Structure 1
Amino acid sequence: MPEIAEVARIVHYLKKHAVGKTVAAVKTQEDDIVYGKVGTSASAFQKAITGKTIVNAKQQGKYFWLEMDTPPHPLMHFGMSGWIKFSNDDTAYYRPAKAEKEEWPPRFWKFILQLKEDDSELAFVDARRLGRVRLVDVKAEDMRKTTPLKENGPDPVLDPDILTVEWLTKKLKSKKVPVKALLLDQANISGIGNWVGDEIMYQARLHPEQYSNTFSDSQVKQLHDAMMYVCNTAVDNLAESEKFPEDWLMRHRWDKGKKNGGKLPNGAKITFLKVGGRTSAVVPSVQKKTGAVAGDVSEDATADEELEEDDKPKAARKRKSKPANDEEDEEPAKVTSLASTKRGKKKVGSNELKEEDEEKVPAVKKQRVGSNGTASKKTSEDEPPKKRRSGRLSKT
């Protein structure tokens, strides 16, 4: 899903195709999740943006926004599957399609901006409705001082003067959590998601599940150097993995199951650990545990479980689709209980996914399936056995 580098890519294309142009017209589709969850509506967005000039496009981590000539400014977040598409450019996606030009308007669009100067259009699309579009009514220079950006940590690319070795040392020592979990928490550092986090840990030669407060000063320096290297390299290459260094984990993590797959070019094996429902790619030969690690590590994860189908390179996608509520993305949304109760628990469904990326979607209890492929009746594990009148247990 879009992380710091993918968002940098879309900001690049927004500057290329939209900045300096006037929004002649806005088409919207009302959506009480994409807009409504963050206190906006499609109609309010349409009214606020029509006729405005786009002055700039900026980002902080996984957030990005259009700076308009006057407030409010639209602030956006892609969630798992959101993106911006352009009517005059098919190459903006970080895995450009080789197929013919896509239909327009694109599927799953939430808003379309028609630009006055060249009649081109750009569309915010989101098939899974986990992205967010809001309006922030502040001066342009105050965007990063305003909610939700001010609650997020420093951006490794934008804020190297804040995210220093000393700052990182203090942050790591202040918590006792698996180090990768700390990196993924946007309140700590902006923009790092699953693949970037794994690449940082690999380049630092540190184990992702080691507790954050157990690293030596030299190891913290390794982690800081790797973070700056990975984030800047990924952003500079606009998230095009083909341009990443050949020895990067990102280039080879998808090869599990293929002939000679699951290895780096030097022959080092890639394994997958699953902790608390999150999957990490690890190279055990260099990522050694030098301190305490989380106790719930599972080594049964597979590469194919790691991301949603939309996020895998096409060659690595499985034909079989996953259940709708099997969320294994680096930015999982929170889902409440399956049963509705007076306490406010809600049914699982696309309309109940909570904003942003703090918590893991719980697994849904599986039904027993009979030999004919249909769900079987409850067994003695689910309910007590029935009794005959004689008092003997009936066969079930």
Structure 2
Amino acid sequence: MPELPEVEAVRRAIHLNCIGKKIIRSVIADDVKVIVDVSRSDFEASLTGKTIVAAHRKGKHMWIQLDSPPFPSFQFGLTGEMYIKGVAAAKYKRSSVKDIDNWPSKYSKFFIELDDGLEVSFTDKIRFARVRLLKNPAYEPPIFALGPDALLEPMTEDELFKSMSKKKTSIKKLILDQGFISGVGNWIADEVLYQSRIHPLQIASSISKEQCAALHKSLKEVIEFAVEVNADYDRLPADWLCHSRWGKKPGKINGHKIEFIEAGGRTSAYVPELQKLSEDQAAKITIKTLTKSSKKSKGEADEAESEDEEIAYSEKPKRGNRAQSNSKRPPIKRKSHKKLNEDSDDDDEDYMEDEVVKGKAVKKAATTKKTKGSKENKKPSARKKSQENEDESESDDSGIDEEWEEEKRVQVKGKMEVDKKVQAGGHTKTRAK
């Protein structure tokens, strides 16, 4: 997913190409999952006629400042991307929208045309991004709850050591916490821990001053260099772990074997020969190496979180039953996810795999509870149990099919509406001439 360097590359592109230009037309997708708490008509009315005066970023969030509020804010999620027509986009390692010849993309959620003819589109293929309209983004959720920005507000070495000394969680989980440091995601976390020779499961409070100094140095150097090359992975140093970590494929770096474990709820790449746990901690835990086919247990699935760790700082659902209804949605099959996002990286697949396991765990718990509460309380016969399993399977498939069909309906409807508005704008220009 886009992390700090990728989002900063987008911010810089907006700054270089859009500042001082007026928005003459806007098209917002009819997608209430991505477009948060505002109707498309109100969103479009708030943009049209406004002038872009600045582009800001904190952590993995970005917002565009206009000559008057409210301002559009973007939480990129797993596959959110910003395109400026005619301007080279940042080369995301896991770009989901490969072909933008069909402009704007059918996955466009936010589209604006500027007074010089320049066009900007924010796309999201799997609809995990969030686009908001906020009066003062820096002081509203979810941005106001973020910790210091890893690039703009870095902690000093002493501040970092003092903060870590109070934390009894693993260092990988801590630096992924957007309330602790904002902008660090999974690939950056793995990279800085590898370069500072710290095991991802090392308890933060047990890290020595020397290790903290190495971590502080790596955080600064990795983020600054990635930003300097505009998040172009091909320009990152060849001896960085990031070139070998995607895909969970067996490999080596500088002659040392790379292994994959779960740390901080995320699939984590590390080099056991160089990143070692302290003797005390090594004696207390068992490290389970993950492979491409590894399946997570229920407990591990419950711990797993989205790539977008800052989701914990988003607004709570306004309706009391919303969270409950979401938790009972049928799990998404891996096959369906691949249809929707064939080009996603395995890190993104890990996220969906976690969601599948969570969904199965919820359904299993519900089935168990229902059985225990039955009046007869007898063990079902083999024939009855088989029939129940068949019925349950059919029910699951039905729910998945409905969800997939709804996904397609939303995408087709959004594409038709965006195309219609874009074409209408073109006809208007022709008549004016």
TM above 0.5, yes or no, is yes
Check whether the contact 1:178–1:212 (CA below 8 A) recurs between aligned residues: yes
Amino acid at match of 1:285: E
Partner of 2:110: 111
Deviations 1:58-104 (A, max 9, x none): 21110011111111121111011111122223544435899876211
Distance in 1 between the 2:108 and 2:99 partners? 19
Distance in 1 between the 2:133 and 2:169 partners? 34
Q: TM-score, normalised by structure 1?
A: 0.74
Q: Output aligned runs, 1:280-291, within 5 Å.
A: 280-290=268-278
Distance in 1 between the 2:271 and 2:308 partners? 23
Q: Secondary structure at the match of 2:358?
A: coil
Partner of 1:102: 101
Partner of 1:372: none
Q: Secondary structure at the match of 1:64?
A: strand
Check whether the contact 1:270–1:284 (CA below 8 A) recurs between aligned residues: yes
Within the candidate set 356, 360, 377, 1:365 is matched to: 360
Partner of 1:61: 59
**Cα separation, partners in 2 of 1:342 and 1:132, compared to 1, 3 Å:** closer
Q: Secondary structure at the match of 2:289?
A: coil
Partner of 1:43: 41
Q: Secondary structure at the match of 2:120?
A: strand
**Cα separation, partners in 2 of 1:254 and 1:134, compared to 1, 3 Å:** closer
Partner of 1:378: none
**Cα separation, partners in 2 of 1:71 and 1:273, compared to 1, 3 Å:** same
Distance in 2 between the 1:240 and 1:349 partners? 37
Distance in 2 between the 1:69 and 1:20 partners? 9
Structure 1 or 2: larger helix share?
Answer: 2
Q: Output aligned runs, 1:1-396, within 5 Å.
A: 1-36=1-36, 39-94=37-92, 102-117=101-116, 119-138=117-136, 143-160=137-154, 163-254=155-246, 257=249, 262-264=251-253, 266-275=254-263, 277-290=265-278, 292=281, 298-302=287-291, 330-331=307-308, 344-346=324-326, 347-348=328-329, 361=355, 362-365=357-360, 384-386=379-381
1:263: how far off?
0.7
Check whether the contact 1:273–1:279 (CA below 8 A) recurs between aligned residues: yes
For CA contacts below 8 A with separation 6 or more, give which structure has more relative contact order. 2
Deviations 1:261-319 (A, max 9, x none): 5111x21111001246421000111101125379776533236889xxxxxxxxxxxxx
Amino acid at match of 1:7: V
Report how many residues are paired.
330
Check whether the contact 1:62–1:190 (CA below 8 A) recurs between aligned residues: yes
Distance in 1 between the 2:232 and 2:53 partners? 26
**Cα separation, partners in 2 of 1:128 and 1:208, compared to 1, 3 Å:** same
1:249: how far off?
0.3
Deviations 1:215-240 (A, max 9, x none): 11111111111111111111111111
Check whether the contact 1:273–1:297 (CA below 8 A) recurs between aligned residues: no
Deviations 1:20-66 (A, max 9, x none): 21101101122222123xx3332222111111111111211100111
**Cα separation, partners in 2 of 1:175 and 1:85, compared to 1, 3 Å:** same
Q: Secondary structure at the match of 1:67?
A: strand
**Cα separation, partners in 2 of 1:330 and 1:305, compared to 1, 3 Å:** farther
Give the CA RMSD over aligned residues.
3.5
Check whether the contact 1:211–1:294 (CA below 8 A) recurs between aligned residues: no
Distance in 2 between the 1:304 and 1:167 partners? 40
**Cα separation, partners in 2 of 1:298 and 1:218, compared to 1, 3 Å:** closer
Deviations 1:309-362 (A, max 9, x none): xxxxxxxxxxxxxxxxxx98523779xxxxxx99934332799xxxxx9xx745
1:207: how far off?
0.4
Amino acid at match of 1:2: P
Check whether the contact 1:262–1:269 (CA below 8 A) recurs between aligned residues: yes
| Residue identity (%) | 35
Check whether the contact 1:209–1:294 (CA below 8 A) recurs between aligned residues: no
Check whether the contact 1:153–1:189 (CA below 8 A) recurs between aligned residues: yes
Distance in 2 between the 1:238 and 1:285 partners? 32
**Cα separation, partners in 2 of 1:302 and 1:166, compared to 1, 3 Å:** same
Distance in 2 between the 1:269 and 1:229 partners? 24
Partner of 1:394: none
Check whether the contact 2:27–2:111 (CA below 8 A) recurs between aligned residues: yes
For structure 1, the 5+ residue unaligned runs are: 307-326, 335-340, 352-356, 367-382, 389-396
Q: Secondary structure at the match of 1:270?
A: strand
Q: TM-score, normalised by structure 2?
A: 0.68
Partner of 2:415: none
